[in-house]
Amino acid sequence: MTQRDRAVRIARWGGVVTGLAILGLAGVYVRALVYTPVEATQGAAQKIFYVHVPAAWGALLAISVTGVLSIFYLWLKDRRIDLAAAASAEVGVAFGLVMLTTGPIWGKPIWGTWWTWDARLTSTLFLFLLFVGYLVLRDVLTDPGIRARFSSVIGILGLILVPFIHLTVYLFRTLHPAPIVLKPSAPSLPKVMLVTLLSSVAVFSLLYLGFLMQRYALGLLRELREEALASAQ
């Protein structure tokens, strides 16, 4: 089986995973809107929570995967790792965009303002922008070897930056609701809401995987084509 065939197969499976995720997404929405009770103080606006939090999760997952893959790239120098890291960054930026749009939509009715310069929001924005920078950098570098190495550096630095940004958030006074699920004590969300949230997170993870596989296969196919074209000249 050639590399091209393998890439095509990954793209196909990625499509299947994405399809399943979209079905799951439909299910989660029905559950969130119909079967999960309306939150007492926040009202219907709280429903966006089931998109916002999983999108944030997806973005963070994607960015962490990019960081870890960047380390592996510098170690093993296999271009497939670099392509996977780039694919993950791109999916992460898409999820980040969802997170950054749903946040203000929730914020308007609850905080009374679209955007607050709340530290967590701000720092997420910076992280998002860093990965936009990562993609821009990839775009302006034409040599695949240099592109892979330079973007790995950004990926690794970004990974290390995440905890620092969180610490900055912690030290800065913040409006943002404190973490609700991953708290040392028992989760403070009612069980029915928690189940909805967690299944949404699971669906978004699946969606991430499906996107990642397709984007990776696409990147690989593009590389193979560029190479074939350049060699044919």
Question: ∠46-89-123 over CA atoms, to 5°?
Answer: 50
- 29: number of Cβ within 10 Å: 16
Least CB distance to other proteins at residue 188 (A): 26
In the complex, what is the shortest distance from the CB of residue 191 to other proteins, in angstroms, rounded to a whole number?
36
The CA distance from 195 to 71, in Å, is 35
Q: Cβ of residue 180: shortest distance to other proteins, in angstroms?
A: 24
Cα radius of gyration (the chain): 20
Closer by beta carbon to other proteins, 51 or else 169: 169
φ, ψ at 39 (rounded to 5°): -70, 140
Tell me which residues touch other proteins (CB under 8 A): 74, 119, 122-123, 126-127, 129-130, 133, 136-137, 140-146, 149-150, 152-154, 156-158, 160-161, 164-165, 167-168, 171-172, 223, 226-227, 229-231, 233
Nearer to other proteins, 185 or 231 (CB): 231
CB 181 within 8 A of CB 52: no
* Nearest to other proteins of 52, 138 (CB atom): 138
By beta-carbon proximity to other proteins, the closer residue of 154 and 207 is: 154
Distance CA 196, CA 31 (A): 7
